[in-house]
């Protein structure tokens, strides 16, 4: 299996702070993921960033290993929301894997004024096995504790993200509300 772009379970605190701070606009997309099979209490954790492909596409094509048994719940924490093309790839992936659901948490919206990206998010959110939401303060703390090494001190205050979180949450709600009308 091609493993270019594959990363270990932990990302650096500096990378997390830079790429998930909703007040910054880095060029790369980071995807932190947890998978639970059959309601198991132990999850599989990993992360990728976009190297050659978009992070979502890379995860779906190169990281996810389907199992013919049981249900899989995937949780993604993305530094940017999926673009329209990745939304289509996620939809196609879910059609091929009816035993998978995906919960998507995003730090910021990717070109939220582009009609194609808005439509992609609405169509994706309209699927029964998908949820899309903006990362909240507790999500940042969870990721900090779950995906980052704990042996290095680095100041992290997601409380300062409040205005950006509220702005992105409202933007996403407005995009998705157009689908529900």
What residues act catalytically?
56
Q: Which residues contact 40 (CB under 8 A, 6 or more apart)?
A: none
Give a yes or no: residue 161 inside a domain. Answer: yes
Confidence (pLDDT) at 151:
64
Give a yes or no: residue 2 inside a domain. Answer: no
With contact defined as beta carbons under 8 Å apart, do 180 and 41 qualify? Answer: no
Percentage of residues in the chain with pLDDT exceeding 90? Answer: 50
Q: pLDDT tens for residues 31-65?
A: 999 988 887 777 888 888 887 688 998 888 888 87
Enter the pTM of the model.
0.88
Give a yes or no: residue 81 inside a domain. Answer: yes
Give a yes or no: residue 27 inside a domain. Answer: yes
- On the question of pLDDT at 133 being above 60, the answer is yes
Confidence of residue 125 (pLDDT cuts 50, 70, 90): very high
- On the question of pLDDT at 110 being above 60, the answer is yes
Cβ neighbours of 129 (radius 10 Å): 15
CATH number at residue 128: 3.40.140.10
CA 99 to chain centre: 19
Owning domain of residue 101: 13-180
Give a yes or no: residue 4 inside a domain. Answer: no
Give a yes or no: residue 1 inside a domain. Answer: no
CA pseudo-torsion sign 5, 128, 146, 69? negative
The number of domains in the chain is 1
């Amino acid at each position: 299996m091609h493993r270019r772009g594959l990363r270990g379970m932990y990302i650096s605190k500096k990378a997390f702070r830079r790429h998930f701070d909703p007040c910054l606009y880095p060029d790369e997309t980071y995807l932190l993921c947890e998978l639970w099979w059959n309601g198991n209490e132990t999850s599989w954790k990993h992360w990728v960033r976009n190297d050659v492909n978009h992070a979502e596409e890379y995860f779906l094509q190169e990281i996810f290993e389907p199992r013919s048994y049981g249900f899989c719940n995937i949780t993604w924490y993305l530094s940017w929301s999926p673009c329209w093309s990745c939304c289509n790839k996620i939809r196609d992936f879910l059609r091929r894997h009816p035993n998978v659901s995906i919960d998507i948490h995003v730090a910021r919206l990717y070109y939220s004024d582009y009609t194609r990206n808005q439509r992609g998010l609405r169509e994706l959110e309209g699927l029964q096995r998908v949820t899309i939401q903006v990362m909240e303060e507790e999500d940042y703390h969870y990721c900090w504790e779950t995906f980052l090494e704990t042996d290095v001190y680095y100041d992290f205050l997601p409380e300062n993200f409040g205005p950006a979180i509220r702005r992105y949450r409202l933007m996403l709600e407005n995009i998705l509300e157009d689908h529900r009308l």
